[in-house]
Amino acid sequence: QEFIVTTKDIVKYDKESKRILRLAGPFVMSEISEVLFWALTTLLVSRYTDVDQLSAYIVTDLLIGTSETLIKGFLETLETVCSHAVGYGNNKLAGQYVQIVAALYSIFSVPLFGMWWFV
């Protein structure tokens, strides 16, 4: 028996799709409003300051965003893998994950520290 997957098989708008879209709505609106408020803030800063101050604002915002994303990425990854390891009953593996993330965080923090030192 041959199994051919068509687009209709993959993209089926069923009960689960409706549920996912209904749950995703608030998150999508949150991200849209965050971007709009960032654009409005940048517009206001550019309106009442000169180019040098606007450049400093944008660079600082970019650096803060990069630092925050890196830190959150490590923490969210650790939450996921540690939860699975502890749920499986393997505390040693969870400890190894914590050590790996701590080492990676330390390694990647050095460039961030250098970046913030010169800003």
pLDDT at 36: 94
Give the integer Cα–Cα distance in Å for 23 and 34.
18
Radius of gyration of the chain (CA): 22
For residue range 66-116, list pLDDT tens digits in order.
888 888 888 888 899 999 999 999 999 999 999 998 888 888 888 888 877
Q: Kindly report the backbone phi and psi dihedral angles of residue 90, in degrees, each rounded to the nearest multiple of 5, phi listed first.
A: -105, 80
For residue range 27-75, list pLDDT tens digits in order.
899 989 998 998 998 888 888 888 888 888 888 888 888 888 888 888 8
Q: Name the burial class of residue 97, with classes exposed (0-12), middle (13-18) and buried (19+) by CB atoms within 10 angstroms of its CB.
A: buried
